[in-house]
Amino acid sequence: MTQHTIRSGGTPARRRVSLIAAVAAAGLGLAACGDGGDTGGEGGGDEEASTLERLQEEGTIRVAFAGEIPYSYEEDGELTGATIALDREIFAAMGIDEVDGQLVEWDALIPGLNAGEYDAVSAGMSILPDRCERAAFAEPTIMYTSTLMVPEGNPEGLSDFSSFEGNDLTLAVQSGAIEQGFADDIGLENTMTVNSAQDGMDAVSSGRADAFSLTNITLSTMVEENPDAGVETVGGFVAEVDGVKQISAGSTVFRPEDTELLEAYNEELATVVGDADRFEEVVGEFGFTDAERPPEGLTAQMLCDGDLEAANEAADQADG
């Protein structure tokens, strides 16, 4: 696991912490614990503060980030990115003004969270059924489309995952990313796994892979920032598996027992994603637009259940 701690100052707090909650938190032991379940022992033993109360009292939350531009990364020693900006806004409204960042390899994000190494994952992690079995996902924060990074000129004429069916072209995918899952579900045989977006771009630039697939915004940003790499993207698309659109959204991740923290986060999140202007104000500098704003009616539960029919219906209703 790669660990690197970055402290990032929060925005001015728009605190909505009740006086009762604040006084109660100040008088408790403030030991880290889950929010769910009975916090008092038999016979009226001392209660322990919930994770939410502890974070509000300390005024700081530690989040894991993945180092993926433009979602969560370090720039000039500062923690930044769209998911960081969004979480900074939400946590400040919850009375948590400081965000400490810990750089963690993608596959280690959820294990480290459950081990108590940090309090949340702020990396825009896609909401998938197998991940929901191991952690608690907030409501969708950002919508995703995928793309292909290809050599300049797109010599093979590639457009989406179907371009790799029935031929020997090689597709690079990042370990643990949702595009790896799409390639596996479709049954693509000629894939190579890379550990980072930089590794994927290098594979295409060197000719070891005919294309690299990751989220559209990530790869489009990389192309802009690496004009001499000799690569381009083919435009965003929604992957299809067995004729079903694989609608995808990411969100911030919490421990399953931290229900109070999750509920408070979702309450503040709704005020941001429910307002198109405010959403773009928070994440627009990172290239995100209203197209990445989650549609009304799309829920984390739909995606955790793998109910893509309901998810697509919610997206279609919003578009209509």
Question: What sign does the dihedral 230-206-182-283 (CA atoms) show?
Answer: negative
Contact (CB, 8 A) for 4 and 79: no
Which residue numbers in the chain have pLDDT < 70? 1-47, 319-320
Could you report the per-residue pLDDT of 286-303, keeping only the tens digit for each? 989 898 999 999 999 999
Task: Report which secondary-structure segment, H or E, holds 46.
Answer: none
Q: Please give the pLDDT value at position 35.
A: 56
* DSSP count for the chain of H helices, then E strands: 12, 16
- Number of neighbours of residue 218 by Cβ within 10 angstroms: 24
Which domains are seen in the chain, by residue range? 5-143+249-319 (3.40.190.10), 146-237 (3.40.190.10)
- Write the CA distances from 256 to 21, 65, 93, 104, 160, integer angstroms: 22, 19, 22, 20, 35
| CB-based contacts of 260, cutoff 8 Å, min separation 6 | 35, 36, 50, 51, 52
SS3 content of the chain, % helix, strand, coil (to 5): 35, 20, 40
Q: How far apart are CA 311 and CA 320, in angstroms?
A: 14
> Number of C-alpha atoms within 13 angstroms, CB side, residue 251?
28
The one-letter amino acid code at 126 reads: S
β-pair type (60-65, 120-126): parallel
- The pLDDT value recorded for residue 6 is 53
pLDDT for 319 equals 67
Burial of 46 (0-12, 13-18, 19+ CB in 10 A): exposed
Instruction: Please provide the distance, in angstroms rounded to a whole number, between the alpha carbons at the two ends of the chain.
Output: 44
Other Cβ atoms closer than 10 A to 189: 11
- Please, which residues bridge with residue 7 across strands? 100
| pTM (2 d.p.) | 0.74
